[in-house]
Amino acid sequence: MASQSLAPSGQLLRQRRIELIVRSSLSLIGLVSVVVTIAIVASLLLPTLEFFSEISIAEFFTSKVWAPLFNPPKFGVLPLITGTFLVMSVALILAVPCGLGAAFYLSEYASPRLRKVVKPVLEVLAGIPTVVLGFFALNFVNPQIVQKFWPVGDVGTFSALSAGLVVGVAILPLMASLAEDAMSAVPNSLRDGALALGATRREVCTGVIFPAALSGIVAAVVLAFSRAIGETTIALMAAGSNPRFTLNPGSGVQTMASFIGFAGIGDQPTGSTGYKTIFAVGSLLFIITFLLNIVSIRVVRRFREAYE
């Protein structure tokens, strides 16, 4: 080693060359993710533009019938939007309070031993494939729970409610773990201060931890939102593939994501309007989730800066 540094030997030159090659090839690899994003946008954009040269934007967003693969086709995206909204709302109504509750318990109440058991179980739940959850929704939640207890009208094989409940279970671990991260980042001095002043654990949770971790919790909710909107397989299996313009969670619906999956199965001929609808709906889905992700990343960043 010492003799190398005295005179620039051949070996040292070789080292420098390796260094240069490594650095430049790694920076090329770093570009892959950027290329992917550009490719996604490009693949969505062109067919979407072609789609809107055939179908007017006004018809797309105001007509209440979605039947792009029928003859004559109808291209009103509103039923897909209400369907997505239904499944997403049910999912969030379940996942946000439960996720938050689980996070509070794990961060503020649980003993280290209990945490050691509960956290891996939540991770297992997070790792269950969506097709398995979809089967559970179709085969258990809908017949055993929704059909028996839903008060308004008869529930068929498919329902937005069963899909939404199971999507809620699917995003619950994500919600819990992100919210818990935000809560654990609250400095102990705040907790100790409140406890020393005589606050109960509950008062610490609601009066100190919740406001202090609020930005992280908001980011978690926004991310859960984006996950619920993009969930495809559960919605396709449990909510069915019948686009209905309805706000009754007991009826079967089609979401934006499940339409894409459904149309994709049908193997549309390239260039047909049916093929292009996949991209038009995909663009809508991508734009909505993209905005939600950016909001969530921004909020998390701000919250990180506050405590470091």
Partner 1 sequence: MNLEATSSAAPPLGHKIASSRLWRDRIFRSILLLSIAVALLTLFTLLIDTFLEGRPRLNGALLENMPSARPARAGLQSAIFGSLWLVGITSLVSLPLGVGTAIFLEEYAPKNSRYIRLIELNIQNLAGVPSVVFGILGLAFIARGPLSWGFTVRTGAMVLTILVLPLVIIASREAIRAVPPSIRDGSLALGATQWQTIWRQVLPAAVPGIATGSILSASRALGESAPLLLLGALSFVTFNPTSLDSSYTVLPLLIFKYASDAKAEFHVVAAAAIIVLLVVLLAMNATAILVRNRFQKRL
**Dihedral sign, CA of 294, 300, 306, 308?**
negative
Closest distance between partner 1 and the C-beta of residue 223, in Å? 7
Q: Compute the least distance from the CB of residue 252 to partner 1, in Å.
A: 13
The one-letter amino acid at 99: G
| 106/160 with CB nearer partner 1 | 106
Q: Which is nearer to partner 1, 273 or 293 (CB)?
A: 293
**Could you tell me the two tokens for 179?**
């919210």
**Considering beta carbons, is residue 58 or 197 the nearer one to partner 1?**
197
Q: Specify the residue, 252 or 282, whose C-beta has the smaller distance to partner 1.
A: 282
Compute the C-alpha angle 261/164/129, nearest 5°.
Answer: 60
- Smallest distance, Å, CB 72 to partner 1? 25
* Least separation in angstroms between CB 272 and partner 1: 12
Query: Could you identify the residue written with the tokens 């930005």?
Result: 215
Q: With respect to partner 1, which residue has the nearer C-beta, 163 or 223?
A: 223
- CA torsion, ordered 244, 69, 234, 87, to nearest 10 deg: -30
- Shortest Cβ 306–partner 1 spacing (Å): 19
Which is closer to partner 1, CB of 66 or CB of 248? Answer: 66
Smallest gap from Cβ 16 to partner 1, in A, equals: 8
- What is the CB-side half-sphere exposure of residue 240 using CA atoms within 13 A? 16
The distance of Cα 169 from the centroid of its chain, to the nearest Å, equals 12
Contact between 273 and 47 under an 8 Å Cβ cutoff? The reply is: no
Beta bridge partners of 66: 75
Query: CA-to-CA distance for 234 and 244, rounded, in angstroms?
Result: 17
